[in-house]
Every structure is written in C-alpha cells, then in structure tokens.
Amino acid sequence: MSTPRIAAALARRQVHYGWVVAAVTFLTMLISAGAVGAPGVLLLPLQAEFGWETADISLAMAIRLLLFGLMGPFAAALINRFGVRRMTLTSLSLVAGGLALSMAMTQLWQLILLWGVVVGIGTGLTALVLGATVATRWFTHRRGLVIGLLTASSATGQLIFMPLLAYIAEETGWRTALMLLCGLMVVAALAVLALMRDRPSDLGLPAYGETEVAPPAAASGRSVAFAAIDALRDAARTRVFWVLFGTFFICGASTNGLIQVHLIPLCADFGVPAVRAAGLLALIGVFDFIGTVGSGWLSDRYDNRWLLFWYYGLRGISLLFLPFSDFTLYGLSLFAVFYGLDWIATVPPTIKLTADRFGRERAPLVFGWIFAGHQMGAAAAAFGAGLSRTMLDSYLPAFFVAGALCLVAAVAIRTLGQGRPAAEAEKG
C-alpha cells in the first residue's frame, strides 16, 4: 500500500500520519543510540585485545562525540535542502559502513578514523536534530510530548542495547555485537524508505493540531554551509542563545561524554563486573525514559526555565553523590534512579525554549548549534575523564567537576527572562 493510501486509511480512523513518521523516527533514533552507546560497552574488550590505553581510546570517542555535535547545524541545513528521508538513509548507511569496516581494524588510527570520524559524521547527520525537525514540522499540538518521546528513544536504545551488547561481547566477542547493530540499521533503513515523508504537505495534510495545509517551504538558493552559519550569526546576537549553548555544553559533559563512555570502566575500578555495570546503564535508561517523556509533557504546561533548573540541580547532586555510594548495589541503584530521571530530560525544554525564541523554521538550525555545544562538552568530558584515569589513576575528579558544573548550569538557566519571539530576544 502506498504512503498516501496509508495516510488516508489512518485519517478515516482519526489517526494523523505524523504519528507514523514519529514512530519511524523513534525506531531510527533508538537503533542509532546503540551505535552511539556501543563504545562505552566495548572499551574494555578493545583494551584487552589490542592493549590500547584508556586515553587513546577516549580520543576516538571524543572525536566521535565532537563531530556528532558539530554536524548538528549542518545536518539541519542538509535536511532542509535534501529532505528528512534522504539524509536519514545517508546517516544509517555511513554508521553501518563504519561499524562493519571496524570489525577488521588492528591499529589505533583505524579506530580513530572509523569510530571517531565516520561514525561521528554519520550519527551527527541526524542526531537530536532529526527529532527536533520532525516534531516542529509535523506537530503543533502535542509537540513537547513528541519531542520527549523522540528524545527518550536514546534512553530506550541504551536500555535495550547496552546490557545486550555487553553480554554478547563477553560471550562471543565485540565483533559479533557490531554485526547485530549493523543488521538492525538495515531494518531501520527499510522502515525509513517505506514510511518516512519530509513534510505533512507532501501528503496533503496539515500539521497535527492545525486545520490548513501549510505550503511547502520555498527552496533556498543559499548553500548548506551559509544557511547554517547565517543561523549562528543571527542567534549569536542574543543572550538566550549563549545561555542555552553554555548549559547544553554542561549537559553533554555530564551525560554522553562521562557516563555513557566511562561509567562501565569506573565501575570496573571498584570491582563491579561489566555486564552488571551495563545493567546499571539500562536502569538509568528505564528512569530516563520515564523522566524524558514526562519532561516533554511538563514542557507543554510549565515554565521551561524552572524545569531546567531542577533537572541540572538534581543531576549535579547525583554526580557528586556517586563517589560516596561505595559502589554497592543499593548505592548504585539510588544513583541510577535520581540521575536517570533527568539523563536527557533537559532536551524537551531546551528545544521548546529554542522554538519559542527563534521560530519554527529557524529553530532546528539554531538548536543544531546549541546541540554542537552539547557535544563539545561531551567530547571534553570523554577525553578529560580518560586522561584523568591515565594520569591520576582515577575517574573521580572528572565526576566531581561534572557535578559542580551542573549546579552552575542550574543557576545560569534562571538568568533567562520570560520567553519572547526571536525578534525581541535579549541582545548580548
């Protein structure tokens, strides 16, 4: 059945096709989360097989995280130019290709090239920008909830894949774990090819919550690079951009770059087996799914600045608590609950604030730059924590610094005034 027929059949049942697009996006982001999170599970097996230092492997992870973020604004411009479906298929192909080739790697430079550069660019072509674009294009009503669901797909991917990948790597080797990820990416690509569409107007539909079909966006004669840089130039004139950029830098430093990459090796330092530590990440994923979906629901109803204040504050306290947990089952479980509830719960309020201040069409581009800040923080933490482990023989200083920075972010976000349109946003 063709996509227009599916859309018509769903419409007769009072179901908007936007929910199908959201479901395909959820699946894509869920599987991509496995590729993003895999290095944290496979760090120890790589050390065991090749004898590479933690700092060396962390360099590849830092490059991947940095490119993952720096591609964000250009990914938004590429999506605007070439469409959601085409860019999503390109992303999945790059990531699957990079992971497949890495099964034959034997040198550190190959790890840096494949896991750092190729996978970094591939995952960065969509990343959270994909979810932000789908939510803003297809939904007016329930937008915050959709953003929460799509953002939570990363937590769900972690929930599903991290313990599974750790188990497979331990039982049959890390290459088998990568084969599983590559196969799942093929499944996601087939779903995107069959069901994904760029805009509601492609099917003659209004966005969910609207009554009139919006005309297709006028094609821009500007280059992709110019569109992204022009968005940065305009946004950089506002103080709200720099506050969101800075707090999201701290968000990345205290999540992807720290916990996702180094929690399992940290637990190993305290005698916690890798599979059990991966289970801890899964528990974080369970509570993050709850927290992020709830955050999307709350962001439609409450002041997003106060939401971010509490998210960053609680995250900071939980990170400062972790070194004192004694790494017992009770202590780690308590950490997983409080930390997990806002692992990426910061994303829906940040996207909402961006859309409120910069408008629907410009918001994905501006958020792409804000997300670049997130991944700069993640890259700094990924490399910094690995360096701390190599030079100081301990990860703990990195966790103390990340916790303190979260408390700074909680204070900084409260300096923003009430939401206003982009044209009226505060100037720096």
Tell me the per-residue pLDDT of 263-279, one tens digit each, with 9 for 90 and over.
888 888 888 887 788 77
Helices 396-413/239-253 angle, 10° precision: 150
pLDDT grade, residue 241 (50/70/90)?
very high
Nearest CA among 272, 260, 250, 416 for reference residue 332: 272
- According to the model, what pLDDT value does residue 371 have? 84
Range among 3-12, 106-115, 358-367 with highest mean pLDDT value: 106-115
- Encoded amino acid at 396, one letter: L
The predicted-structure confidence for 317-356, as pLDDT tens digits, reads as follows 999 998 888 888 888 888 888 888 887 788 889 988 888 8
Lowest-pLDDT range of 64-68, 174-178, 220-224: 220-224
Give Cβ neighbours of residue 4 (< 8 Å, ≥ 6 apart). 203, 204
Of the candidates 349, 300, 291, which has an alpha carbon nearest to the alpha carbon of residue 318? 291
As a whole number, mean pLDDT of residues 51-79 equals: 79
The pLDDT, as a whole number, for residue 92 is 92
Supply the pLDDT for residue 94: 92
Mean pLDDT computed over 69-97: 85
The chain-wide mean pLDDT, for the chain, equals: 83
Number of other CB atoms surrounding residue 388 within 10 Å = 22
Share of the chain above pLDDT 90, in %: 18
Taking 60 as the threshold, does the pLDDT of residue 420 lie above it?
A: no
Higher pLDDT, 15 or 315: 315
pLDDT band at 224 (very low <50, low <70, confident <90, very high): low
The token duo for 55 is: 């700092």
* Structure confidence at residue 111 (pLDDT): 87
The CB density around residue 106, as the number of other CB atoms within 10 Å, is: 8
Nearest-angstrom CA–CA distance, 10 and 19: 10
Largest CA distance in the chain: 64
- CA torsion sign for 67, 413, 426, 359 is positive
Cα radius of gyration (the chain): 21
Give the Cα separation of 98 and 19 in Å (integer): 31
Q: pLDDT confidence of 12, banded at 50, 70, 90? A: confident
pLDDT value of residue 324:
85
Q: Please give the average per-residue pLDDT across 148-156, as a whole number.
A: 76
The confidence score (pLDDT) of residue 222 equals 58
Residue type, 294: G
Q: Is the pLDDT of residue 428 over 50?
A: no
Residue for token pair 């999170």: 37
